[in-house]
Amino acid sequence: MADTPKKDDARIPDPSLSETRFSRLRKKKDMPGGLWLKCESCGAMLYRKELEEKGRVCPTCEFHFTLPGRERVAMTIDEGTWQERFAEVTALDRLGFKDGSTYAEKVEKARARTKQNEALICGTGKIDGREVVLAVLDFSFLGGSMGEVVGEKIALAAEIAIAESKPLVIFTGSGGARMHEGVLSLMQMAKTCAALAELNDAGGFSICVMTHPTTGGVTASFASVCDITLAEPGALIGFAGPRVIATTLKQELPAGFQRAEFLLEKGQVDRIVKRGEMKSVLARLLDYTKGANVAPTPRAKA
């Protein structure tokens, strides 16, 4: 097997399973009320309530489970300071995409399940007293995929950051571009990068935290172009899946390939931060922006 994990890789989920894991993750989330679940990294049986109380980090192997967007916001933003923005923006089914059920039906189902209109939650609030614009991709909404709405909301988040002179913090967890929107979803890669370039030109500051899993068009666009790139331990981060790469290259992939620790070693990730320490690390990083984000200058229009 090209991508069988090595022994010392025991804490890291088997990358060869990752392609099927996205669908299995969704199925698990569709099953409410299960008291126990199995850690996808070490196989330990975990009491769901206890896992949730521990911020969805496995007490046995410290695997960081995918976190619902609302929990991420609550964990990151000071209580009573969160103001959600653009929650009303919804996707249009421009292509009339059908795959078993229609795209519109899929979106409606995701909306009913997550009680939110789209995969990106965006707003303003404080992190340990520091004002920020926060954008969180929610994997439970159509795999955190990026369509027109996600792209637009990232662009709007960058615009608020410029207009209100606040740093922008983004959390990603995504299967990539939303195939149901075809080329319109791919266009969001350029759009979100352009928005972050404008923030940069205006003297703004941005941090992206890549969480498990961050893949495809999201990795290849806004997730990778922020000033600082953090990652949670063990997060799968890549463009194409490991099995596709191994098959194409006809080569055995190195141990830990496409994991946060591997990418830290290669320089794509600046630092790996455990979930329990994330808020204090973000607060410290935001302190470095003091004075750097006070006088935005509008980008010259062509």
- Chain contacts with Zn ion (rule: CB under 5 A): 39, 41-42, 44, 58, 60-61, 63
Q: How far is the CB of 62 from Zn ion (least distance, A)?
A: 7
Considering beta carbons, is residue 44 or 74 the nearer one to Zn ion? 44
Cβ–Cβ under 8 Å, residues 186 and 200: no
Q: How far is the CB of 24 from Zn ion (least distance, A)?
A: 16
Distances (CA, A) of 112 to 97, 109, 165, 245: 20, 5, 35, 36
Q: How far is the CB of 201 from Zn ion (least distance, A)?
A: 43
CB of 95 to Zn ion, least distance (A): 40
Minimum Å distance from CB 11 to Zn ion? 8
Answer yes or no: are the C-beta atoms of 36 and 45 closer than 8 Å: yes
**DSSP, res 4:** P
Runs of H (alpha helix) within 115-259: 148-163, 182-201, 216-219, 242-249
Closest contact distance (angstroms) between CB of 46 and Zn ion is 7
Pairing relation of β-strands 228-231 and 168-174? unpaired
Handedness of CA 242, 179, 267, 167 (dihedral sign): negative
Q: Which amino acid, 282?
A: L
Nearer to Zn ion (CB atom), residue 17 or residue 61: 61
Cβ proximity to Zn ion: between 44 and 249 the closer is 44
Is the Cβ of residue 11 or residue 178 nearer to Zn ion in the bound state? Answer: 11
Q: Which of 44, 292 has the CB closer to Zn ion?
A: 44
CA 247 vs CA 1, 29, 240, 257, 259: distances in Å: 11, 30, 11, 14, 19
Cis peptide before 213 (omega within 30 of 0): yes
Residue 21 Cβ vs Zn ion, minimum distance, rounded to whole Å? 14
C-beta closer to Zn ion: residue 56 or 153: 56
CA distances from 155 to 90, 238, 274 (A): 15, 22, 28
C-beta closer to Zn ion: residue 58 or 282: 58
Closer CB to Zn ion, 53 or 79, in the complex: 53
* Pure H helices in the chain: 18-30, 48-53, 69-76, 103-114, 148-163, 182-201, 216-219, 242-249, 260-266, 278-287
At 112 the three-state DSSP class reads helix
Q: How far is the CB of 71 from Zn ion (least distance, A)?
A: 19
